[in-house]
Amino acid sequence: MRAPWRRVAAAELQRATRAAIDPTTQAEAARIVEDVRVGGEPALRAHAERLGDLRPGEPLVRGTAELIAARDGLPAADRALLERTAARIEAFAQAQRRCLLPLDVPVPGGRAGHRWMPVAAVGAYAPGGRYPLPSSALMTTIPARVAGVPMARLASPRPAAITLAAAAVAGCEQVLAVGGALAVAAFAFGVGGPACDMVVGPGNRWFTAAKRHLFGEIGLDGLAGPSELLIVADSSADPAWVAADLLAQAEHDVDARAVLVATSADLVAAVDEELARQLAALPTAATAAAALANAGRVALATDVEAAIAVADRLAPEHLQLMVRDARAWSERPRAYGALFVGSRSAEVFGDYGIGPNHVLPTGGTARFQAGLSVATFLRPATWLDVHDPAGVGADAADLAALEGLPGHAAAARLRDGMPTAAATRSGGR
């Protein structure tokens, strides 16, 4: 049985496009957001009840006591699992934070630098549709806390007990029980809690459309599209492992993109057989098979160098190197959201909290943007302390004159002790 995906020439592989938000969704999401902007909580509740996020009279916000009760009600093994995962995410975030140092350097006439300042409030999202995603609750809120964000709110529609428990483990004080465009609007306009300066996390097309609508009004981590995995593999790769990783990606959603660029035709044939065999026993086979049929691709490359060149052109969300000497090749790729080095470094390890974040750029945006991290929530705000502007003021004044801005020039000349145009006309210095 042949695997349900398309074989193409490597040159034909196209960069995934950002999730296309159809005009109807974009318009409806914008309408919901603007209704909440004007109508506040009553408008949000009306939409939430209409969409099935809330039942009449059901609480909009799940508070600290309920989160702690959900955590304490977990089986001991499940709670320990969440706490171990949270500890690994926090340790990695703490290490990232230690890399972000303040700057203080001499400049002509004084000193300058920057300090890393956290945003005041963050709204984080954990999807709750087909599957509850407690991992996203941990991934989005823990780095914000490590960054020093004073208030991190979490939203999840119809939150499962495991998501509430994860929120408690992550240190959240509340969970907003709505999703999609409503969550973005509640965060942006302070419904159910403080207004947020930034909204982060993965979500469906409604969530993405609402983020796009408020672009420039609130900070965003990006506009996520369907999840992507590109595997570069040579003849040393185990076809069963390759197939398993492709299917793990494909079961996310029917639009998920699973791509293999291989240097061996024999490996491709073996992976085809493994995909068919593993699909037959996979409970999520319907979704995974649809994803392979929709966006799954396999291509041959002449060698590993050529395969990595294809990966750089596509800039995938996840890039996995299943090749000989993978560590030696690991510094060659230049465009990816997250890199998984060697066959043992399964992409699923990134999903489930070994340390690095799983909220990553999609649709080729890894060419210019990185995944969620402590740095997402911090701004390197610069400062300048000039105590002796001699010389510097003259240059600033001359540049201002070149640009035709005499007020700028006058302000600079005052600091440098030079006569301004007004002072010259009045006979002063």
- At 279-293, the pLDDT tens digits run 999 999 999 999 999
Quick: pLDDT tens for 99-148. 999 999 999 999 999 999 999 999 999 988 677 889 999 999 999 999 99
**401 vs 409: CA distance, rounded Å:** 6
Backbone angles phi, psi at 117, to 5 degrees: -115, 125
pLDDT value at 429 more than 60: no
Q: Is 154 helix (H, G, I), strand (E, B) or coil?
A: strand
pLDDT for 131 equals 74
Quick: pLDDT tens for 306-325. 999 999 999 999 999 999 99
**372 vs 337: CA distance, rounded Å:** 10
pLDDT category of residue 418 using cuts at 50, 70 and 90: low
Question: Percent of the chain at pLDDT above 90?
Answer: 84
pLDDT for 378 equals 98
In the predicted model, what is the mean pLDDT of residues 372-379?
97
Instruction: Check if the beta carbon of residue 184 is closer than 8 Å to that of residue 207.
Output: yes
pLDDT value at 165 more than 90: yes
Q: Which of 47, 213, 252, 318 is catalytic?
A: 318
Quick: pLDDT tens for 331-370. 999 999 999 999 999 999 999 878 999 999 999 999 999 9
pLDDT value at 419 more than 50: yes
Q: Give Rg (Cα) of the chain.
A: 26
pLDDT for 2 equals 59
pLDDT category of residue 26 using cuts at 50, 70 and 90: very high
In the predicted model, what is the mean pLDDT of residues 47-73?
95
In the predicted model, what is the mean pLDDT of residues 168-188?
96
pLDDT for 267 equals 98
pLDDT category of residue 237 using cuts at 50, 70 and 90: very high
pLDDT value at 420 more than 90: no
Average pLDDT of the residues of the chain? 93
pLDDT value at 428 more than 50: no
- Residue 213 appears among annotated catalytic residues: no
Backbone angles phi, psi at 426, to 5 degrees: -90, 0
Q: Tell me the β-bridge partners of 378.
A: 118
pLDDT for 365 equals 92
Number of residues in the chain: 429
Q: What is the pTM of this model?
A: 0.90
pLDDT value at 19 more than 80: no
Q: Tell me the β-bridge partners of 112.
A: 105, 384
pLDDT category of residue 425 using cuts at 50, 70 and 90: very low
Task: Give Cα separations from 213 to 12, 61, 124, 126 (angstroms).
Answer: 33, 24, 17, 20
What tokens appear for 205 in the block?
A: 């097309």
Q: Which of 317, 331, 387, 403 is catalytic?
A: 317
pLDDT for 3 equals 64
More confident residue, 257 or 128: 257
pLDDT for 426 equals 47
β-bridge pairing 103-107 and 61-62: unpaired
pLDDT value at 224 more than 50: yes
**75 vs 301: CA distance, rounded Å:** 48
